[in-house]
Amino acid sequence: MPTPPTISADVGGLKTRALLISVFTIATCGLIYELLAGTIASYLLGDSVTQFSTIIGVYLFAMGLGSYLSRHFQRDLITRFIEIEILVGVIGGLSSPVLFFSFGQIDAFRVVLYGWVAATGVLVGLEIPFLIRILKDEFPLDDLVSKVLSLDYLGALAASLIFPLWLLPRVGLMRSSFVFGVLNVLVAVWTCHLFRHQHRRPWLTVQAYIALGLLLAGVGYSDNLMEWSERQLYDDPVILSRSSVYQRIVVTQSDGEVRLFLNGDLQFSSLDEYRYHEALVHPGLAAVDTPRRALVLGGGDGMAVRELLKDERVEQVTLVDLDPVVTEIFREHEGLATLNDHALRSPRVDLVNADAFVWLEEDAGAYDFIVLDFPDPSNYSLGKLYTTTFYQRLAAHLNPGGIVAIQSTSPLVSRQAFWCIVKTVRAAGLEAAPYHAPVPSFGEWGFVVASRQPFQIPQRFPDGLRFVTPAVTRSLFEFPPDMSKVPADVNHLNNQILVQYHADGLAQYTHPPAVYTP
């Protein structure tokens, strides 16, 4: 039986060093593909905790399967390794375009998602066993294993750092997959040349260069591919798209209507967003005697700030939003800044980009009126912003006579989630006055006014409002039977029952209304 090729004749250790560098490279690429799949699934399907958990599980299982299958390859190990690198580079490099395109075109998107992740994982699982067997004659076994595993883990560390800090915000999902596919294929190319006397297959080198050319073309046309894929996802023309560390931001426009989408979820339509934002802000604000200092948590689009600035009694507004890209767009982009009346440029507004949960612990300020314009509690990262812990932190920043206005999801679609928020506010030691308003783009939407004293519906509002009036406001605090109170538990930080309530509510609808996640 032919023996596997060795590299013992390697002059100066060039081939050995090249293979060890390959370990680091392929480890970095492998984890990047996993992170890309998890991020894309989170963007398209929501609930990042669930998506990353399932992607990681499938990927690791597939890697284990690949490692097990490697035992069946005994001959031509260098040739097989080159073939695997070409396949990993092509499949991993095409992961972003394939997943984005299939989401818009194929109903069984999850089959494509997990099938692509599994295929990538199996191939990645084959890589390290092959390299160990190729290098086994160059080092003692314990030294070889320690070198390979150390470089493997260092590659994983490099991927985990560069993905959120550089790739996602600056390179983008589409281009990142092509770039790392290129790196995998470059491993195949240099292995072809270094071991040309062992594999003796000129066509294999040609295949590697064809794959390299394909992926380099993808790098060059990534922006065009991303624009094309997004046109398949949205009904209206895309006029702006950006990626941040936290989300994919897309703005569409058609016939005078501007829509904002974050991770594919509709945030507002310019045709009726005033209903939501007036209802969120003005009932509570008008009930405060002297609302000099106001705080907005979330609401990086500046619409809630716009409503606050309509009240001349408000002297200073602090806006705290997690994503600096969102606030920058709505401050600097002229068309979008017009929607919020250039509120984020006002000298009365201080802008902070931070996690509100942490920021409340660090801030020493007290406020007369606070607006919580957070996304719906669709995952545990968001659910923490609706807990007794968070509301208690919030109460510590509330001046005597101050009021909090809380976005509280739909009392029709997510009925139990809505009343869970009401009960949680009361469990935190605050009075809670629930109300709702019809917003055509989203259906019935719910809010809660929280305060230390029982809430009194105000009788006066600023001039120029398009939806809120004294008579309309009184009607908002009345609930029909299909939205009336139902039993619900308190949402604590250690159980986050609200996330489950919200998911259960949406699951009742075969085609639920668009979820508003400001």
Concatenated DSSP letters of 151-206:
HHHHHHHHHHHHIIIIIIIII-HHHHHHHHHHHHHHHHHHHHHHTHHHH--HHHHH
Segments of the chain scoring below 70 in pLDDT: 1-13, 15, 46-47, 137-138, 197-200, 509-518
- Strand, helix or coil at 518? coil
Q: CA Rg, the chain, in Å?
A: 27
Q: What angle do CA 56, 60, 65 make, to 5 degrees?
A: 150
CA–CA separation, 198 and 221 (whole Å): 36
Sign of the torsion formed by the C-alpha atoms of 320, 323, 324 and 330: negative
Place of tokens 């509100």: 356
Residues of the chain with CATH 1.20.1250: 11-230
Taking alpha carbons only, the member of 430, 433, 444 closest to residue 505 is: 444
CA–CA separation, 77 and 73 (whole Å): 7
HSE on the CB side for 370, CA within 13 Å? 26
Find how far residue 403's CA is from the centre of its chain. Answer: 31
Catalytic center residues: 373
**CATH class for domain 11-230?**
mainly alpha
CA–CA separation, 188 and 182 (whole Å): 10
pLDDT for res 57: 95
Of the CATH numbers 2.130.10.30, 3.40.50.150, 3.40.190.10, 3.40.605.10, which one belongs to the domain with range 268-507? Answer: 3.40.50.150
pLDDT for res 465: 95
pLDDT for res 10: 53
pLDDT for res 257: 93
Residues of the chain with CATH 3.40.50.150: 268-507
pLDDT for res 198: 67
pLDDT for res 93: 94
Please report, as a single letter, which amino acid is at residue 14: L
